């Protein structure tokens, strides 16, 4: 069975506790090292002081007076000292040494002969001692060596007590910090749980609901604002999908109703061959209209998803000339002139066929809405580092209130037009989808002289 994944606040608690444990371990090791170093330094300074006391002790008539004086001055624990001559013979030792001697290694002897103080740690009868060897010079010659020893047990006991305290305090501190961190993590993430519960109650039938913003201005509020923005976009998209589905059903119902009516009338009574052919011709027109509508819907869906073919370099000058030639043939029977204005040698990256369809839809729209004797003009220019393709007509123009609607599917501003002359209302929607898929913008303007001007802005290709 798969293990249940850990919650966020549990992971935060574990990360916090682990990081704190690592920090405490490092700090404990550092404190232990600093304490050991400080204690060792204190022991060595004490040994230097004791050695100087032994060196400066009054001798009287013999070493016994010096020993008595040192015994009276020092506490019993520190009464481990001896005096050794240059030849290594023992001249005096404290009564605590009894028959033992403080050792002096060959390395330490060389240091002392050189006039330096020597320190070493030795083991004497199972007891660790820190020993100092202090040279005494008279008349420029080594007269004697003062050795003083001090047990390291007190220092070791102090270090051990500190280590025992760390073994208790570190786990206790990590445990308390983990418990506190878990409480704080739960409190910090409680708004996230509330947001999650609110989001679960939002479905396709309740997209108008929003997540409550607490007003703190922190990251959680920004997350709630982002989610609310996403819900707003989803609500708008679902609304568009519902309107699109209703409009598509309405557009499909009209030719299907006409087709059904034609067939029912043809079958209601016996007809002559001529009448049957007329009925079939009428039905074929409705079928053609359905095919064109289905093709437009499929093209709109594909253009919304983006161009399927790999992006290639598209020369806009050649594209405009090609569309202008096709537009001239379309406008011939309507008495509308299709002209080419300014042409700049620009290029973009994209699907040449899709861009041609978008531009041709704009030209067809201009030809349909331009009265006889009018004109439709195409141009390509460069503005602010972008390629701008424009289609301007001398038609009646578009009212400002209708500008936001003309790019919606199945919208016809002229309700008097038939579906045959006005089309399915998908041309501008397809053109905008193609332009947006190419990271461009399609907008409509109202020139000062009247008419309409559709502008396509596309990013230029490198070197184009």
Which two three-digit tokens encode residue 194? 């509330």
Does residue 456 contact residue 440 with C-beta atoms inside 8 Å? yes
389 vs 360: CA distance, rounded Å: 12
What integer pLDDT is reported at residue 318 of this predicted model?
92
Q: At what angle do helices 8-56 and 63-73 cross, to 10 degrees?
A: 150
Domain 8-158 listed as CATH 3.30.420.40 = no
Predicted local confidence at residue 454, as pLDDT:
92
Residue in 87, 83, 90 with CA at minimum distance from that of residue 66:
83
pLDDT at 24: 92
Q: How far apart are CA 156 and CA 149, in angstroms?
A: 16
* The predicted structure's pLDDT at residue 185: 81
pLDDT for residue 92? 76
Question: What are the helix (H) ranges across 130-152?
Answer: none
Tell me what pLDDT residue 361 has: 87
pTM listed for this prediction: 0.51
Q: Which residue has the tokens 């093709």?
A: 295
Check for a shared fold between 8-158 and 309-459: no
**Ranges of each domain in the chain:** 8-158, 309-459
pLDDT along the chain (464 residues), means of 10: 71 87 93 94 89 73 54 58 83 71 87 90 86 89 88 91 93 90 82 79 73 78 83 76 67 74 80 80 78 69 57 89 90 88 90 87 88 91 91 85 72 50 67 86 84 91 72
CATH architecture of 309-459: 2-Layer Sandwich (3.30)
Contact between 219 and 189 under an 8 Å Cβ cutoff? The reply is no
């Amino acid at each position: 069975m798969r293990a249940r994944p850990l919650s966020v606040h549990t992971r935060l608690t574990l990360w916090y506790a682990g990081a704190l444990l690592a920090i405490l371990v490092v700090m404990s090791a550092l404190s232990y090292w600093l304490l050991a170093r400080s204690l060792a330094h204190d022991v060595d300074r004490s040994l230097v002081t004791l050695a100087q006391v032994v060196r400066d002790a009054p001798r009287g008539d013999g070493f016994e007076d010096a020993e008595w004086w040192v015994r009276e001055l020092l506490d019993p624990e520190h009464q481990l000292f001896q005096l050794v001559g240059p030849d290594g013979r023992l001249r005096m030792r404290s009564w605590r040494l009894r028959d033992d001697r403080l050792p002096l290694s060959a390395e330490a002897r060389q240091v002392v002969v050189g006039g330096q103080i020597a320190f070493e740690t030795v083991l004497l009868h199972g007891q660790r001692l820190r020993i100092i060897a202090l040279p005494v010079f008279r008349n420029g010659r080594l007269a004697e060596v003062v050795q003083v020893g001090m047990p390291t047990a007190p220092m070791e006991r102090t270090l051990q007590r500190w280590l025992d305290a760390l073994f208790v305090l570190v786990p206790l501190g990590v445990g308390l910090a983990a418990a506190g961190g878990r409480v704080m993590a739960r409190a910090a993430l409680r708004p996230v749980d509330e947001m999650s519960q609110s989001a679960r109650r939002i479905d396709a039938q309740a997209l108008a609901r929003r997540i409550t913003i607490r007003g703190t201005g922190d990251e959680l509020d920004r997350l709630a604002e982002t989610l609310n923005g996403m819900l707003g976009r989803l609500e708008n998209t679902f609304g568009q999908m519902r309107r699109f589905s209703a409009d598509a059903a309405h557009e499909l119902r009209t030719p299907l109703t006409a087709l059904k009516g034609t067939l029912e009338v043809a079958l209601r009574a016996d007809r002559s061959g001529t009448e049957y052919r007329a009925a079939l011709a009428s039905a074929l027109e409705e079928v053609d209209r359905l095919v064109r509508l289905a093709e437009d819907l499929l093209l709109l869906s594909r253009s919304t998803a983006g161009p399927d073919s790999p992006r290639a370099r598209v020369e806009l000058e050649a594209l405009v000339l090609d569309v202008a030639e096709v537009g001239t043939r379309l406008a011939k029977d309507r008495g509308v002139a299709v002209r080419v204005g300014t042409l700049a040698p620009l290029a973009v990256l994209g699907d040449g066929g899709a861009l041609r369809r978008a531009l041709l839809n704009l030209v067809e729209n201009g030809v349909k809405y331009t009265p006889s004797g009018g004109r439709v003009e195409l141009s390509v220019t460069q503005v602010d580092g972008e390629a701008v393709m424009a289609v301007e007509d001398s038609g009646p123009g578009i009212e400002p209130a209708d500008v936001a609607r003309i790019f919606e599917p199945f919208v016809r501003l002229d309700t008097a037009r038939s579906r045959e002359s006005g089309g399915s209302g998908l041309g501008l929607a397809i053109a905008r989808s193609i332009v947006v898929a190419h990271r461009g913008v399609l907008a409509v303007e109202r020139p000062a002289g009247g008419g309409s001007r559709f502008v396509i802005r596309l990013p230029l290709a490198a070197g184009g």
